[in-house]
Protein backbone atom coordinates (compact mmCIF):
# COMPACT_ATOMS: atom_id res chain seq x y z
CA UNK A 1 0.00 0.00 0.00
CA UNK A 2 1.66 3.19 -1.13
CA UNK A 3 1.53 6.47 0.74
CA UNK A 4 -1.15 8.03 -1.47
CA UNK A 5 -3.45 5.02 -1.01
CA UNK A 6 -2.95 5.22 2.77
CA UNK A 7 -3.91 8.90 2.78
CA UNK A 8 -7.09 8.17 0.78
CA UNK A 9 -7.94 5.25 3.08
CA UNK A 10 -7.57 7.37 6.22
CA UNK A 11 -9.62 10.16 4.66
CA UNK A 12 -12.36 7.72 3.62
CA UNK A 13 -12.56 6.23 7.11
CA UNK A 14 -12.63 9.69 8.68
CA UNK A 15 -15.40 10.86 6.33
CA UNK A 16 -17.38 7.66 6.98
CA UNK A 17 -17.14 8.12 10.73
CA UNK A 18 -18.16 11.75 10.34
CA UNK A 19 -21.16 10.74 8.23
CA UNK A 20 -22.21 8.07 10.77
CA UNK A 21 -21.85 10.44 13.70
CA UNK A 22 -23.78 13.21 11.94
CA UNK A 23 -26.59 10.80 11.00
CA UNK A 24 -26.81 9.61 14.61
CA UNK A 25 -26.87 13.20 15.73
CA UNK A 26 -29.69 13.86 13.25
CA UNK A 27 -31.83 11.20 14.86
CA UNK A 28 -31.28 12.73 18.26
CA UNK A 29 -32.53 16.13 17.18
CA UNK A 30 -35.84 14.86 15.79
CA UNK A 31 -38.83 16.35 17.57
CA UNK A 32 -38.63 18.87 20.37
CA UNK A 33 -35.12 18.82 21.76
CA UNK A 34 -35.39 19.39 25.51
CA UNK A 35 -31.98 20.90 25.95
CA UNK A 36 -31.50 23.04 22.91
CA UNK A 37 -34.12 25.70 23.64
CA UNK A 38 -33.95 26.56 19.98
CA UNK A 39 -30.42 27.79 20.47
CA UNK A 40 -27.04 26.51 19.44
CA UNK A 41 -26.33 22.91 20.41
CA UNK A 42 -22.94 23.91 21.75
CA UNK A 43 -24.29 26.64 24.06
CA UNK A 44 -22.88 26.50 27.56
CA UNK A 45 -24.93 26.30 30.73
CA UNK A 46 -24.46 28.80 33.53
CA UNK A 47 -23.40 26.95 36.64
CA UNK A 48 -22.36 29.79 38.93
CA UNK A 49 -24.37 31.81 41.38
CA UNK A 50 -27.33 33.81 40.20
CA UNK A 51 -29.19 36.89 41.20
CA UNK A 52 -32.62 38.30 40.47
CA UNK A 53 -34.32 41.29 38.99
CA UNK A 54 -37.50 42.55 40.55
CA UNK A 55 -39.60 45.63 40.45
CA UNK A 56 -43.03 47.16 40.17
CA UNK A 57 -44.86 48.23 37.05
CA UNK A 58 -46.90 51.40 37.50
CA UNK A 59 -49.51 53.11 35.43
CA UNK A 60 -49.35 56.89 35.38
CA UNK A 61 -52.49 58.89 34.83
CA UNK A 62 -56.07 57.69 34.61
CA UNK A 63 -56.29 54.23 33.14
CA UNK A 64 -58.93 53.53 30.51
CA UNK A 65 -62.08 52.18 32.12
CA UNK A 66 -62.74 48.49 31.45
CA UNK A 67 -65.51 47.96 28.92
CA UNK A 68 -68.49 45.70 29.42
CA UNK A 69 -68.62 42.71 27.11
CA UNK A 70 -71.90 41.70 25.52
CA UNK A 71 -72.18 37.94 25.96
CA UNK A 72 -75.63 37.60 24.39
CA UNK A 73 -74.21 35.49 21.56
CA UNK A 74 -73.36 32.74 24.04
CA UNK A 75 -75.61 32.69 27.13
CA UNK A 76 -73.24 30.32 28.96
CA UNK A 77 -70.68 33.13 29.16
CA UNK A 78 -73.20 35.52 30.68
CA UNK A 79 -74.43 32.96 33.20
CA UNK A 80 -70.94 32.18 34.48
CA UNK A 81 -69.52 35.67 34.25
CA UNK A 82 -72.39 38.22 34.32
CA UNK A 83 -70.05 41.22 34.54
CA UNK A 84 -67.48 40.23 31.99
CA UNK A 85 -65.20 43.18 31.30
CA UNK A 86 -62.20 43.83 29.10
CA UNK A 87 -58.88 42.98 30.73
CA UNK A 88 -56.35 44.74 28.52
CA UNK A 89 -55.42 47.39 31.13
CA UNK A 90 -55.65 45.99 34.65
CA UNK A 91 -54.68 48.79 37.05
CA UNK A 92 -55.10 48.66 40.83
CA UNK A 93 -53.81 51.49 43.03
CA UNK A 94 -51.72 52.75 40.12
CA UNK A 95 -50.02 49.39 39.58
CA UNK A 96 -50.28 47.61 36.24
CA UNK A 97 -50.77 43.88 35.89
CA UNK A 98 -50.07 41.63 32.89
CA UNK A 99 -46.85 43.30 31.80
CA UNK A 100 -44.37 40.81 30.39
CA UNK A 101 -40.88 41.60 31.66
CA UNK A 102 -37.93 39.77 30.15
CA UNK A 103 -34.21 39.97 29.59
CA UNK A 104 -33.71 40.70 25.95
CA UNK A 105 -29.95 40.57 25.74
CA UNK A 106 -26.80 41.30 27.67
CA UNK A 107 -23.34 40.27 28.71
CA UNK A 108 -22.85 37.68 31.39
CA UNK A 109 -20.05 38.02 33.89
CA UNK A 110 -16.92 36.73 32.18
CA UNK A 111 -17.68 38.46 28.89
CA UNK A 112 -19.90 35.96 27.12
CA UNK A 113 -23.20 37.04 25.63
CA UNK A 114 -26.41 35.82 27.21
CA UNK A 115 -27.29 34.19 23.88
CA UNK A 116 -24.21 31.98 24.26
CA UNK A 117 -25.86 30.16 27.19
CA UNK A 118 -28.66 27.66 27.13
CA UNK A 119 -31.21 26.51 29.70
CA UNK A 120 -33.00 23.21 30.05
CA UNK A 121 -36.60 23.25 28.94
CA UNK A 122 -38.75 22.84 32.06
CA UNK A 123 -40.60 19.56 32.27
CA UNK A 124 -43.49 21.31 33.99
CA UNK A 125 -46.29 22.52 31.79
CA UNK A 126 -47.75 25.99 31.74
CA UNK A 127 -51.54 26.13 31.92
CA UNK A 128 -53.83 28.39 29.97
CA UNK A 129 -57.42 28.03 31.09
CA UNK A 130 -60.64 29.25 29.54
CA UNK A 131 -62.85 30.17 32.43
CA UNK A 132 -65.89 32.43 32.29
CA UNK A 133 -65.22 33.06 28.59
CA UNK A 134 -61.94 34.64 29.50
CA UNK A 135 -58.35 33.41 29.14
CA UNK A 136 -56.50 32.96 32.42
CA UNK A 137 -53.80 34.03 32.71
CA UNK A 138 -54.14 36.87 30.25
CA UNK A 139 -50.37 37.12 29.68
CA UNK A 140 -48.01 34.21 30.19
CA UNK A 141 -44.57 33.02 29.24
CA UNK A 142 -43.22 29.64 28.23
CA UNK A 143 -39.84 28.46 27.13
CA UNK A 144 -39.22 27.18 23.63
CA UNK A 145 -40.61 23.63 23.39
CA UNK A 146 -42.12 23.81 26.88
CA UNK A 147 -45.55 22.21 27.07
CA UNK A 148 -48.53 24.51 27.13
CA UNK A 149 -51.61 22.83 28.57
CA UNK A 150 -54.87 24.43 27.49
CA UNK A 151 -58.01 23.62 29.45
CA UNK A 152 -61.66 24.55 29.10
CA UNK A 153 -63.47 25.13 32.40
CA UNK A 154 -66.57 26.52 30.70
CA UNK A 155 -69.79 24.75 29.79
CA UNK A 156 -69.41 25.97 26.24
CA UNK A 157 -67.00 25.33 23.40
CA UNK A 158 -64.02 27.53 22.75
CA UNK A 159 -61.66 27.88 19.88
CA UNK A 160 -57.99 28.47 20.61
CA UNK A 161 -56.24 30.33 17.84
CA UNK A 162 -52.71 31.65 18.32
CA UNK A 163 -51.60 33.98 15.52
CA UNK A 164 -47.79 33.91 15.66
CA UNK A 165 -45.44 35.45 13.15
CA UNK A 166 -42.52 33.06 13.64
CA UNK A 167 -44.17 29.88 14.93
CA UNK A 168 -46.77 27.67 13.29
CA UNK A 169 -50.28 29.11 13.43
CA UNK A 170 -53.00 26.71 14.55
CA UNK A 171 -56.68 26.84 15.35
CA UNK A 172 -58.41 24.19 17.40
CA UNK A 173 -61.87 23.86 18.88
CA UNK A 174 -62.15 22.66 22.46
CA UNK A 175 -65.70 21.61 23.40
CA UNK A 176 -66.78 21.68 27.02
CA UNK A 177 -65.55 18.56 28.78
CA UNK A 178 -62.87 17.90 26.18
CA UNK A 179 -59.42 16.79 27.41
CA UNK A 180 -56.70 19.42 27.67
CA UNK A 181 -54.90 20.42 24.51
CA UNK A 182 -51.12 20.20 24.76
CA UNK A 183 -49.00 22.31 22.47
CA UNK A 184 -45.50 23.78 22.32
CA UNK A 185 -43.88 26.54 20.30
CA UNK A 186 -40.50 25.77 18.81
CA UNK A 187 -39.27 29.30 18.18
CA UNK A 188 -38.79 32.24 20.50
CA UNK A 189 -41.38 34.93 19.86
CA UNK A 190 -42.48 38.11 21.67
CA UNK A 191 -45.49 37.79 22.14
CA UNK A 192 -47.97 35.57 20.37
CA UNK A 193 -51.56 36.86 20.41
CA UNK A 194 -54.12 34.15 21.11
CA UNK A 195 -57.77 34.62 20.29
CA UNK A 196 -60.97 32.65 20.35
CA UNK A 197 -62.82 32.99 17.08
CA UNK A 198 -66.06 31.99 18.77
CA UNK A 199 -65.85 34.69 21.45
CA UNK A 200 -64.00 37.61 19.82
CA UNK A 201 -63.31 39.43 23.10
CA UNK A 202 -61.19 36.56 24.43
CA UNK A 203 -57.52 37.38 24.10
CA UNK A 204 -54.29 36.18 25.63
CA UNK A 205 -50.61 36.74 24.88
CA UNK A 206 -47.86 34.13 25.12
CA UNK A 207 -44.20 35.03 25.30
CA UNK A 208 -42.01 32.21 24.00
CA UNK A 209 -38.48 32.52 25.34
CA UNK A 210 -35.15 30.77 24.93
CA UNK A 211 -34.36 31.49 28.56
CA UNK A 212 -36.41 31.30 31.76
CA UNK A 213 -35.47 34.92 32.42
CA UNK A 214 -38.95 36.43 32.27
CA UNK A 215 -41.88 37.25 34.53
CA UNK A 216 -45.36 38.75 34.33
CA UNK A 217 -46.44 41.56 36.62
CA UNK A 218 -49.08 40.53 39.15
CA UNK A 219 -52.19 42.43 40.27
CA UNK A 220 -49.92 44.53 42.50
CA UNK A 221 -47.67 45.35 39.54
CA UNK A 222 -44.83 43.35 41.10
CA UNK A 223 -42.65 40.94 39.19
CA UNK A 224 -39.46 39.01 39.84
CA UNK A 225 -37.07 37.31 37.44
CA UNK A 226 -35.06 34.68 39.29
CA UNK A 227 -31.96 32.72 38.37
CA UNK A 228 -30.25 35.52 36.48
CA UNK A 229 -26.49 34.99 35.94
CA UNK A 230 -24.47 38.02 37.04
CA UNK A 231 -24.01 40.47 34.20
CA UNK A 232 -25.31 43.57 32.46
CA UNK A 233 -28.62 43.21 30.67
CA UNK A 234 -31.28 45.01 28.70
CA UNK A 235 -34.58 44.30 30.39
CA UNK A 236 -37.78 44.93 28.45
CA UNK A 237 -41.23 45.52 29.86
CA UNK A 238 -43.84 44.67 27.24
CA UNK A 239 -47.43 45.78 27.43
CA UNK A 240 -50.24 44.82 25.05
CA UNK A 241 -52.00 47.37 22.92
CA UNK A 242 -52.93 48.25 19.36
CA UNK A 243 -49.24 48.84 18.99
CA UNK A 244 -47.63 46.97 21.89
CA UNK A 245 -45.47 49.19 24.07
CA UNK A 246 -41.97 48.20 25.10
CA UNK A 247 -39.90 49.91 27.78
CA UNK A 248 -36.21 48.99 27.92
CA UNK A 249 -33.93 49.38 30.91
CA UNK A 250 -30.27 48.56 31.50
CA UNK A 251 -29.83 46.45 34.61
CA UNK A 252 -26.74 45.04 36.32
CA UNK A 253 -27.12 41.85 38.30
CA UNK A 254 -24.60 40.36 40.69
CA UNK A 255 -24.40 36.82 42.03
CA UNK A 256 -26.95 36.36 44.82
CA UNK A 257 -27.88 40.01 44.43
CA UNK A 258 -31.27 41.51 43.72
CA UNK A 259 -31.44 44.28 41.16
CA UNK A 260 -34.43 46.58 41.04
CA UNK A 261 -36.06 47.78 37.84
CA UNK A 262 -39.36 49.63 38.05
CA UNK A 263 -41.29 50.49 34.94
CA UNK A 264 -44.09 52.87 34.27
CA UNK A 265 -46.65 53.07 31.50
CA UNK A 266 -49.52 55.40 30.78
CA UNK A 267 -49.95 58.97 29.61
CA UNK A 268 -47.31 60.47 31.88
CA UNK A 269 -44.85 57.61 31.55
CA UNK A 270 -41.34 58.30 30.43
CA UNK A 271 -40.02 57.57 26.95
CA UNK A 272 -40.08 53.97 25.88
CA UNK A 273 -37.05 54.24 23.62
CA UNK A 274 -34.26 54.59 26.13
CA UNK A 275 -34.23 54.50 29.91
CA UNK A 276 -34.25 58.03 31.20
CA UNK A 277 -32.09 59.36 33.99
CA UNK A 278 -35.18 59.38 36.19
CA UNK A 279 -35.54 55.65 35.70
CA UNK A 280 -31.95 54.80 36.42
CA UNK A 281 -32.05 55.28 40.22
CA UNK A 282 -34.65 52.54 40.36
CA UNK A 283 -31.86 50.09 39.59
CA UNK A 284 -30.03 48.91 42.65
CA UNK A 285 -26.58 47.45 42.49
CA UNK A 286 -26.41 44.80 45.17
CA UNK A 287 -23.32 44.49 47.22
CA UNK A 288 -20.90 41.80 46.24
CA UNK A 289 -20.48 39.08 48.82
CA UNK A 290 -23.81 39.91 50.43
CA UNK A 291 -24.43 36.22 50.95
Q: Which residue from 50, 81, 156, 258 is in contact with other proteins, where contact means CB under 8 A?
A: 156
Q: CB-based contacts of 143: which residues, under 8 Å, 6+ apart?
A: 37, 119, 121, 122, 208, 209, 210, 211, 212
Residues 6+ apart with CB under 8 A from 195: 161, 163, 202, 203
Q: Is 110 in the site for other proteins (CB under 8 A)?
A: no
Of 120, 100, 118, the residue nearest 108 (C-alpha)? 118
CB of 250 to other proteins, least distance (A): 32
Nearer to other proteins, 49 or 175 (CB): 175
Give me the 206-245 binding string for other proteins, x by CB under 8 A, dash otherwise.
------------------------------------x---
Q: CB–CB of 179/104 below 8 Å?
A: no
Establish if 199 lies at the interface with other proteins (CB under 8 A): yes
Under 8 Å between Cβ of 238 and 207: yes
45 binds other proteins (CB under 8 A): no
Q: Site map for other proteins, 48-67, x if CB under 8 A?
A: -------------------x
CA 153 to chain centre: 24
CA atoms of 127 and 142, how far apart (whole Å)? 10
Each residue 64-83 as x (binds other proteins by CB under 8 A) or -, in order, gives ---xxxx--xxxx-------
Least separation in angstroms between residue 173's CB and other proteins is: 5
* Secondary structure letter of residue 138 according to DSSP: S
Among 149, 161, 232, 260, binds other proteins (CB under 8 A): 161
With a CB cutoff of 8 Å and minimum separation 6, the contacts of 110 are none
In whole angstroms, how close is the CB of 232 to other proteins at the nearest point?
Answer: 37
Residue 262 Cβ vs other proteins, minimum distance, rounded to whole Å: 28
Binding site for other proteins (CB under 8 A): 67-70, 73-76, 85-86, 156-157, 159, 161, 169, 171-173, 175, 197-201, 242
Amino acid sequence: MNKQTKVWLVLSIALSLLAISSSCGGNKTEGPAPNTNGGAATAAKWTGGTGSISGVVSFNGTPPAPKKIDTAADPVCGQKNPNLMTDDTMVKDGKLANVFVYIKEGTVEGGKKLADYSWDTPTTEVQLDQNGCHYAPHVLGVMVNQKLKITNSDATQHNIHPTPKLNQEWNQTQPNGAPPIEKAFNRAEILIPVKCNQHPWMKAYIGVMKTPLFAVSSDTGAYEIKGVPPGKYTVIAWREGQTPEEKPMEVTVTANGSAKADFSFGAAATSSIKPSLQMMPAIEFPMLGKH
